[in-house]
Structure 1
Amino acid sequence: MKIISWNVRGLGKSRTVGRLKQRLRDENHVIIFLIETKLSSEKMARVRSRLGFQNRIDVAAIGRSGGLSIGWKHSCLVNLQSFSARHIDVIIEDDSEGRKWRLTGFYGAPEEQYRADSWNLLRSLNQNNTLPWLVVGDFNEILLASEKQGGLVRSARQMDAFRNVLDDCALDDLGYSGPWFTWEKGRTHANNIRERLDRGVANSEWWDLFPDFQLKHLSHTFSDHCPLLINTRGAQSSIKKTWHFRFEASWVLEESCEEEVKRLWLNSGGEFLDRLRYTSSGLDAWFKKLRSEKRLTRKDLTEKLERLNNLIPTDDVLGDILDTKIALNFEMDREELYWEQRARSNWL
């Protein structure tokens, strides 16, 4: 099972929702936990439906702040236990063997003076728990001074309080792969701040249930937080899908499209239908190659972004990060047009 946790910093813009939809599609997720949606329950229901999730639990934003949402596919059974402005707690049954475990999406108070209330909430959720338990989200706190770079030095008292609550609840940090930080602000070296505020923690029973799990910090082009991907079964091979020919609206954005159609038609022979079949077959092959190149381009840009995020944030590096995000967004614009047409075709 794949789980995405992300502080999206608002879903009020259509383009932001489109970017989120692409990011989720890439990972073939089953459960999503979204933080700071900044939407009412009604608006969040429309967004979640656009993302492809019919099942959900939404906690409305208060004014223009907060808002939580858990969405899931019909392949797993999710039972709500409790919720608040800071958490959504559910029990999951995700396979035919009837194994049950607990998932808590958590959002720690951004204000330091209310952080103790967040830790007390976590302690209350831990009472009488007998299930494997995973807590994931934005805790708005770090465990170690090494998890912060730039800005003011974090108070040892604050970090101690975070470590104490994890000890009280018998929760251990899951670790990660990818860039070490999950939150960033500042576009120059002088004001750049990076911290690991988002994480997954679990009790020993959950570790025993999913010994091959993976947690990864994913790259992103919007929000100042990165998404967390938790795969309970570790790496899995992808399933290839059958390709069917169709003319895609995104092709007209390619400079080579018109010349390719002309070339294929002029090189074809025989009756009209034979020439049509030859041209469509050629376009099919051209598009497969084009898609492969685009995937490679997007993959290269994503990998470049990950490499840049691991470098010392000098002004030149931060400038390269911004340029790479712009280029990656441009590639996503092309792909979004492709998927919009496909969704419309499926609806028809």
Structure 2
Amino acid sequence: MKIICWNCRGVGNPATVRDLKQLLVAIDPDIIFLCETKVSANRFDFVRRRCRMEGCLAVNAEGKSGGLVMMWKESKKVEIQTYSSNHIDALVHMKNESPIRFTGFYGNADLNRRQNSWNMLKRVGQTVTGKWIIGGDFNAILVEAEKDGGRRKPKVLMEEFRTIVDELAVVDLKTDNGWFTWVNNREGSARVKERLDRFLMSANAVNSFPFLETRVIRQSSSDHDAISLDTEGRRPRDGPMDPRLCFRYEVCWARNEAAKTIIKGVWQRGNQDIMEKITNVGKELGRWQYKKLKQLRNQIGSLQADINRLIDGQGSDNEGKKLKAVWLKLGNLLDTEEKFWAQRSRVMWLKEGDRNTRFFHVRATNRRKKNNIARLKDTNDSWRDNNVDICKAIREYFQLLFKSNLNSNSELNLDYIEKCISGTESSRN
């Protein structure tokens, strides 16, 4: 099960809706909990349809603040238990497992009303009998290390939070990446960072999910970052297939001089027939594309790591300027990556101009899953059921096919290929 929690700071902003859609398609969550939507429940239905989530419960904002929503996939059976201006509590039915209680929580920012939030959580906890997950913006920190900059938090507030965690018998889940989830976006000594957003989980739930993974997902349209929980996030997966084995023409090659040089070099090699040239062009472009994509991903990963270091590290006077510069560089690389995945996705329901990279990547990945061959019977009537053996069986089959049906190049009929250049022009090259 995958869950996302995000204090989006208002869904009336088009940039927030765009980021929300990208977040949904990139993570593909089963459930998403948003706080501070700042809209009425009736208005949120438009956002739900834009995000293509079937189930939804929205809690009205109070004026220009507050507002909660929980959305879920149609494939998930979710039963809402209780809700208020600070929480939405639901029972999530799991396939072949016992149900899980999930409570989306928004801690009251008003210190005079904070205790009401804790009391509400305790009342919910009294009704929980099985596995329990709590996630959201708690507007509180457990220890001093969860804040950098500004005035120190009163110890009594941190002690209250720790007491609640102990009374509820839940575990604070540390994220696998990142630390601070909120930044006030000011410069110098006025800059403050805190870990306000988190997941808490009952001990029996932690023990039930050995591959549990939680992450911080940096967002630019809100001062809060999103957090995600995946109960199967660390489960080992089969190694990815070598992209060079899946050759196809890429749009970006047409404008790349290096690609043109590779094609020209292969085509001008010595004694090769047309089929050999086509095969070798595919191999060379595949290797080159593989290296370029790997370099691009490494550069993107490096910049994302820089963003994490700037947010989670010790503050500096020009930290904000550095962060903006890194975001700009990252944006340029994401534009390049977007072109690659756009061609492979075959769908574009996001508006033109949105950064679709994560969407395209997920769609292309999902299409690859649908096209997946789980088992294959080879020419000896033996079943192959792993990627290496399946690829080998396919390769052997077509090698045998071409050997039996195409004994000589003289049988290759090129009469149906329209001539684009004359013999004289060809001899010049």
TM-score (norm 1): 0.81
1:122-155 deviation line (CA, Å, top 9, x unaligned): 1111123212111111110111122222111111
Counterpart in the other structure of 1:90: 90
The equivalent of 1:166 in structure 2 is 165
1:332: how far off? 4.6
Shift of 1:34: 1.4
Q: 1:247 to 1:103 in 2, by over 3 A?
A: same
Letter in 2 for 1:39: V
CA deviation profile, 1:77-103 (whole Å, cap 9, x unmatched):
2111111111111111222x1421100
Equivalent AA in structure 1 for residue 108 of structure 2:
A
**Could you give the per-residue CA deviations for residues 2-41 of structure 1, whole angstroms, max 9, x where no partner exists?**
2111111122222322223223333332221112122232
CA change 1:212–1:222 in 2 (3 A) is same
Q: What's the counterpart of residue 118 of structure 2?
A: 119
Q: 1:235/1:122 Cα in 2 relative to 1: closer, same or farther (>3 Å)? A: same
The residue type paired with residue 227 of structure 1 is A
- For 2:133, give the aligned amino acid: L
The letter for the 1-side match of 2:207 is D
Q: Residue in 2 aligned with 1:311?
A: 313
- The answer to which of 97-106 and 281-290 deviates more is 281-290
Per mean C-alpha deviation after superposition, the further-off stretch among 46-55 and 111-120 is 46-55
Residue 51 of structure 2 is matched in structure 1 by: 51
Residue 63 of structure 1: how far off its partner (Å): 2.4
Shift of 1:337: 8.0
Name the structure 2 match of 1:320: 322
Question: 1:79 is matched by which residue type in structure 2?
Answer: E
Instruction: Indicate how the Cα distance of structure 1 residues 247 and 151 shifts in structure 2: closer, same or farther if over 3 A, else same.
Output: same
Counterpart contact for 2:15–2:221, Cα < 8 Å: no
Distance verdict in 2 for CA 1:345–1:286, change over 3 Å: farther
Shifted more, 13-22 versus 292-301: the winner is: 292-301
Q: Is the 8 A contact 1:311 1:317 kept in 2?
A: no
| Whole-angstrom CA distance in 2 between matches of 1:47 and 1:342 | 27
Q: Is the 8 A contact 2:191 2:315 kept in 1?
A: yes
Q: Tell me how far apart the structure 2 counterparts of residues 105 and 206 of structure 1 sit (CA, whole Å).
A: 16
| Shift in alpha-carbon separation, 1:335–1:54, aligned structure 2, 3 A | farther
2:37 and 2:193 mapped to 1: Cα distance? Answer: 22
Q: Which residue of 2 aligns with 1:76?
A: 76
Q: What is the root-mean-square deviation in Å for CA atoms of aligned residues?
A: 3.6
8 A contact 2:4–2:228 mirrored in 1: yes
More divergent stretch after superposition (207-216 vs 285-294):
285-294
Judge conservation of contact 2:214–2:230 (CA < 8 Å) in 1: yes
Write out aligned runs for 1:4-43 (5 A): 4-43=4-43
Aligned equivalents of 2:285, 2:42: Cα separation in 1: 43
| Deviation per residue, 1:171-217 (Å, 9 max, x gap) | 22122232221111143221111111111112222222223312222
Q: Is the 8 A contact 2:262 2:285 kept in 1?
A: no
| Higher mean displacement: 46-55 or 119-128 | 46-55
Tell me: CA distance 1:287–1:43, structure 2 relative to 1, closer, same or farther (3 Å). Answer: farther
Q: 2:341 and 2:11 mapped to 1: Cα distance?
A: 19
Secondary structure of residue in 1 paired with 2:133: strand
Percent identical among aligned pairs is 33
Relative distance call for 1:295 and 1:26 in structure 2 (3 A) is farther
Q: Distance in 2 between matches of 1:330 and 1:12?
A: 26
Q: Deviations over 1:313-339 (max 9, x none)?
A: 112333221211233344456667888
**Residues 210-289 of structure 1 mapped to structure 2, 5 A cutoff:** 210-236=209-235, 256=255
Q: Does 1:298 align with 2:296?
A: no
SS at match of 1:165: helix
Paired residues of 2:5 and 2:32 also in contact (CA < 8 A): yes
Q: Which moved more, 1:5-14 or 1:285-294?
A: 285-294
Equivalent in the alignment of 2:2: 2
Q: Report the Cα distance in structure 1 between the residues aligned to 2:54 and 2:290, rounded to whole angstroms.
A: 31
Counterpart of 1:163, as a letter, is R
Per the alignment, residue 366 of structure 2 pairs with none
